[in-house]
């Protein structure tokens, strides 16, 4: 009889003994560890991608401004050069201006984000974005859902925008055409979106902007792209990644990676301790069998193979069951969104899930490698077992 057949018989025999219980317990522990690792990876990836994508949707991945913070002048040649870069998806001029927004008797201090009327406004949940009208200035505005609720503004309402310029107060009436909701408190409570030309007119500077926001193509390395953009900059222009503008958000995202690594490490330690303990117990229970096989001429390698096969049953059944449970729970969350979050704390309403095939394969292969390395340690004890003493062992 070969080692595989012996391992199969002692692992799955029907009579009640400790072997059957230990095998099942070890399979369960291994599957829980694998499931926990897969769920942790999917959740952390979801958090990082969803939150960072929200910031990028609002500002792009790179912002261009002057070195000293002074306004820039629109430069079509620079725009064309930037659009030629392989990583760049779009180049958008913008201008931020502090204003007072009024509706009926209520007022609120906000920041008007001016962008070309042809650009889509992100996070629209009701109505539409600003629509261009040939070369005319568009008197429309998109508010956040939060500001609309504070000022009791509905779609189609006409609001007043007050702007202070050189000691004079200028007023414009704008029609509310859309409401957005990003889930990021700093944006929803602070920004409204208007036509860039409107703010330029109020400033009496038709070509003046604060800078450019650059959106990159998917899966582009931001730092490398920023270096390429900086190489195209005129004197006194500088490109900076959005991560540097909003470090508090991206530092929080980075903390999730630390939590992920700690969780995975703990799960792997639990799995290793469990497998070591399991195999030692299985070998102790089979000391008599080890001695008998040794007395019959079986080599240490032959006996070691028996326990390695037995350990392989535990390993792959645990990995398979854990993968099924982990991915199954992630799929259910992605499909039905049954775990809700506090949006004010996490920037999102539901627990996000992001599957990564490479990471899933790495978890499966990595767990198997860790398991086999752990299995080899107890089997070294086989050489020290004396057949004569082992047969007498009870």
Give the model confidence (pLDDT) of 241-289 as tens digits: 999 988 888 998 888 888 889 988 888 888 888 877 777 777 766 666 6
> Is 61 within the bounds of a domain?
no
pLDDT at position 378 over 90: no
Mean pLDDT of 131-149: 91
Verify that 97 and 48 share a domain, yes or no. no
Verify that 186 and 293 share a domain, yes or no. no
> Is 64 within the bounds of a domain?
no
> Is 337 within the bounds of a domain?
yes
Verify that 74 and 223 share a domain, yes or no. yes
- Predicted pLDDT of residue 302: 74
Higher pLDDT among residues 286 and 47, named by residue: 47
Higher pLDDT among residues 35 and 294, named by residue: 35
- Helices 300-336 and 247-285, interaxial angle, to 10°? 140
Contacts of 311 (CB under 8 A, 6+ apart): 275, 278, 279, 371, 372, 375
Verify that 74 and 212 share a domain, yes or no. yes
Stretch among 109-113, 141-145, 160-164 having the lowest mean pLDDT: 160-164
Domain end (from 208, 235, 262): 235
Verify that 270 and 322 share a domain, yes or no. yes
The pairing of strands 168-180 and 140-144 is parallel
> Is 169 within the bounds of a domain?
yes
Higher pLDDT among residues 32 and 386, named by residue: 32
Verify that 139 and 226 share a domain, yes or no. yes
Verify that 196 and 286 share a domain, yes or no. no
Stretch among 112-116, 201-205, 289-293, 361-365 having the lowest mean pLDDT: 289-293
> Is 161 within the bounds of a domain?
yes
How sure is the predictor about 234, in pLDDT bands with cuts at 50, 70 and 90?
very high
In the chain, % helix, strand, coil (3-state, to 5) comes to 55, 20, 25
Mean pLDDT of 357-376: 86
Domain end (from 235, 269, 301): 235
Verify that 91 and 120 share a domain, yes or no. yes
If you average pLDDT over every residue of the chain, what do you get? 86
- CA 95 – CA 196 distance, rounded (Å): 7
Mean pLDDT of 354-381: 82
How much is the pTM?
A: 0.83
What does each C-alpha distance from 103 to 179, 187, 202, 312, 377 come to in angstroms? 15, 20, 20, 71, 74
- The distance of Cα 206 from the centroid of its chain, to the nearest Å, equals 40
> Is 243 within the bounds of a domain?
no
Verify that 102 and 167 share a domain, yes or no. yes
Please name which of 110, 123, 145 lies closest in space to residue 59, comparing C-alpha atoms. 123
In our burial notation (b when 16+ CB lie closer than 10 A, e otherwise), range 205-219 reads: eeebbbbbbbbbeee
Verify that 209 and 113 share a domain, yes or no. yes
- Predicted pLDDT of residue 196: 94
pLDDT at position 384 over 70: no
Which tokens belong to 242? 């959005």
The pairing of strands 237-241 and 208-209 is unpaired
Domain around 269: 3-54+250-392
Give tens-digit pLDDT for 70-105. 999 999 999 999 999 999 999 999 999 999 999 988
Mean pLDDT of 152-161: 94
**What are the backbone angles phi and psi of residue 96, rounded to the nearest 5°?**
-100, 140
The structural domain count of the chain equals 2
Verify that 211 and 308 share a domain, yes or no. no
Domain end (from 166, 201, 235): 235
- Predicted pLDDT of residue 26: 82
> Is 63 within the bounds of a domain?
no
Count CB-CB contacts under 10 A for residue 369.
Answer: 10
Count CB-CB contacts under 10 A for residue 328.
Answer: 12
> Is 273 within the bounds of a domain?
yes
Tell me 381's DSSP state: G
Verify that 45 and 78 share a domain, yes or no. no
């Amino acid at each position: 009889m070969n080692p595989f057949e012996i391992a199969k018989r002692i692992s799955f025999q029907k009579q009640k003994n400790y072997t059957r219980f230990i095998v099942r317990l070890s399979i369960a522990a291994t599957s829980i560890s694998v499931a926990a690792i897969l769920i942790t990876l999917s959740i952390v990836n979801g958090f990082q991608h969803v939150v960072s994508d929200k910031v990028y949707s609002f500002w792009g991945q790179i912002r261009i401004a002057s070195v000293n913070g002074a306004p820039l002048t629109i430069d079509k040649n620079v725009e064309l050069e930037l659009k030629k870069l392989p990583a760049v998806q779009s180049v958008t001029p913008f201008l931020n201006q502090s204003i007072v927004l009024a509706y009926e008797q209520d007022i609120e201090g906000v920041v008007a984000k001016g962008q070309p009327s042809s650009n889509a406004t992100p996070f629209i949940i009701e109505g539409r974005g600003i629509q261009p009208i040939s070369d005319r200035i568009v008197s429309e505005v998109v508010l956040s859902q939060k500001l609309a609720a504070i000022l009791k503004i509905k779609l189609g309402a006409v609001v007043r925008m007050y702007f202070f310029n050189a000691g004079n107060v200028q007023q414009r009436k704008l029609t509310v055409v859309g409401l957005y909701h990003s889930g990021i408190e700093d944006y929803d409570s602070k920004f409204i979106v208007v036509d860039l030309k409107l703010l330029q007119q109020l400033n009496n500077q038709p070509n003046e902007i604060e800078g450019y926001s650059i959106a990159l193509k998917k899966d582009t390395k931001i730092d490398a792209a920023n270096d390429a953009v900086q190489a195209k900059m005129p004197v006194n222009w500088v490109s900076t990644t959005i991560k540097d503008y909003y470090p508090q958000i991206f530092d929080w995202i980075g903390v999730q990676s630390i939590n992920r690594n700690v969780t995975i490490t703990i799960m792997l330690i639990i799995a290793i301790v469990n497998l070591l303990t399991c195999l030692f117990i299985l070998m102790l229970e089979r000391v008599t069998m080890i001695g008998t096989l040794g007395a019959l001429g079986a080599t240490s390698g032959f006996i070691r193979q028996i326990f390695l096969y037995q350990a392989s049953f535990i390993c792959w059944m645990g990995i398979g069951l854990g993968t099924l449970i982990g991915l199954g729970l992630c799929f259910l969350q992605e499909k039905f969104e049954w775990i809700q979050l506090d949006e004010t704390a996490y920037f999102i309403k539901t627990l996000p899930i992001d599957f990564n095939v490479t990471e899933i394969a790495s978890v499966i292969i990595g767990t198997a490698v860790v398991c086999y390395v752990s299995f080899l340690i107890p089997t070294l004890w086989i050489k020290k077992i004396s057949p004569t003493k082992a047969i007498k062992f009870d």
